[in-house]
Amino acid sequence: MIDRATVDRIYAAANIVDIIGDYVTLKRKGVNYQACCPFHDEKTPSFVVSPSKGVYKCFGCGKGGNAVTFVMEHEGVSYPEALKMVAKRYGIQVEEREQTEEDVRRNNDRESMFALNGWTAEYFSKFMFENVEGRTVGLSYFSQKRGFTDATIRKFGLGFCSAKGDAMTEAALAAGYKEEFLLSTGLTLKRESDGRLYDRFRDRVMFPVHNISGRVVAFGGRTLRTDGKVAKYQNSPESEIYSKTRELYGLYFAKKAIQQQGYAIMVEGYTDVISMHQAGVENVVASSGTSLTQDQIRLLSRFTRNITVIYDGDSAGVKATMRGIDMILKEGMNVRVVSLPVEHDPDSFARAHTADEVRDYIQSAEVDFLSFKAKLLMREAGKDP
C-alpha cells in the first residue's frame, strides 16, 4: 500500500480542475466548472466540477468523486495506480508496500486523534462560555479587547483552557478518551519526575486549527500574561494528523468566498483572519506564524491563482512578505501586495473600518510584485520619494 502521509500529500497537491481539464474541456460557471460528461453521451452539459470541495458530479449518469477517483474511472485503473498517476503529475515520490496490522492501527489512531481534538475544541468553548473563570478571562479578552461578537467566537470555535493545570486532561479522561491520544495530539504533557499529566495549553485563550474539511487538527493557545515568563503562543506539535507546513488557518471558512471573489488575501495571524471575517471580508487565510511553504501555496491554488498579500510594515514583515512572494511566483500564481498604514496590522485595520472600506483600501493600495520590490530597493538606497 501507499503510506498515509504520501496519500495526504497527493490529495493536498491535486487540483481537480487541472486534472480533469487534462481529459475534458471545462467551462467556468459561477464558482464551479461544467462540461459534457466523459462517462456517457450527452448534448447538454451536466458534469460539474467544484474546486472548493475538490469533487465532481454528473447529474446525468450519477458518477461522482474526487480527482483520484476520476482518474480511476477515466483510465480504468485501480486506486493505487490512480494515486501514482496523480503523484507523478505533481512530482511526488511514491513508495508502495503491503498494508500491515500496523497500518490499520495507525489509521484507527488517526481517527481517534480527530475525535479527541473535536471534543476538546467543544470543551474549551463550553468552558469559556459557561465557567466563571472562562467568562472572566477568556470571553472578556475576545469580546472586549478584540471586539469579537459571540457569533464570530462560536464560528471559529474560540475557547479558553483553565489555569488549573490538568482541568482539560481530567475532563477528557473522564469522558473516555485515552491517555495515549492526549499525549500524541500534544494536548497533554507528562512530567518526567513523577509521571503527572498536565495541560499543554493551561491558562490560555484557544484557537482551533481546522483542516480543509473542517476537522480540528491542532490548536494555538495565547497567553494573556504580560510578565514575559511564558511564550506568547503555544502551538500543537506535529502529529499523525497535523503538519503546520501543510495547513492554512481559516481556509475552511474562506474557501467559498475565495472561489466567489476570484482571489485570496494572505495575512499572518489568527486574529488577522478573524477580524477580517467579522468585518465582512471572508476570503482571508493565514500562515499562522510560520514562513509560507510550497505545500500551503499548492493547497490554496485549488481555489484560486490570485493572491493578495497584506503585510505588517515592520522589517520582519517585509522580509517575510518577500520570501512569500518568491514562493508564490514559483507556483505560477499571480501575486499583489498591500502595505497597511504604519499604525495598523490587518487585525486592527479591520476592526477600525467597514468591509467596503477594507476592500476599497486593498483595491487602491495593492501593487504588483515588481512595483513592490522596486519601492523597497529605492527605500533601501535612500531614494524613496
| Exposed / middle / buried, residue 318 (Cβ in 10 Å: 0-12, 13-18, 19+) | middle
Delimiting residues of CATH 3.40.1360.10 domain(s) in the chain: 246-380
Q: Which pLDDT belongs to residue 317? A: 60
How far apart CA 288 and CA 286 sit, in angstroms, is: 5
- Per mean pLDDT, which range of 48-57, 164-173, 265-274 is the poorest? 48-57
Q: Which of 103, 114, 102 is nearest to 241 (CA)?
A: 114
- Per mean pLDDT, which range of 100-114, 116-130, 163-177 is the poorest? 100-114
Q: Are 37 and 131 in contact (CB under 8 A)?
A: no
How far apart CA 156 and CA 144 sit, in angstroms, is: 17
What ranges make up the beta strands (E) of 59-110?
A: 64-65
Chain-centre distance of CA 179, in angstroms? 27
Q: Which of 145, 138, 146 is nearest to 347 (CA)?
A: 146
**DSSP symbols for 262-299:** T-EEEESSHHHHHHHHHTT---EEE-TTSPP-HHHHHH
The CATH code belonging to domain 246-380 is 3.40.1360.10
Delimiting residues of CATH 3.90.580.10 domain(s) in the chain: 4-89
Q: Which CATH superfamily is domain 4-89 in?
A: Zinc finger, CHC2-typedomain (3.90.580.10)
Q: Which CATH superfamily is domain 101-242 in?
A: DNA primase, catalytic core, N-terminal domain (3.90.980.10)
Q: Are 334 and 264 in contact (CB under 8 A)?
A: no
**33-92 pLDDT per residue, tens:** 999 999 988 889 999 999 878 899 999 999 999 999 999 988 888 888 899 999 999 999
Q: Is the pLDDT of residue 16 over 70?
A: yes
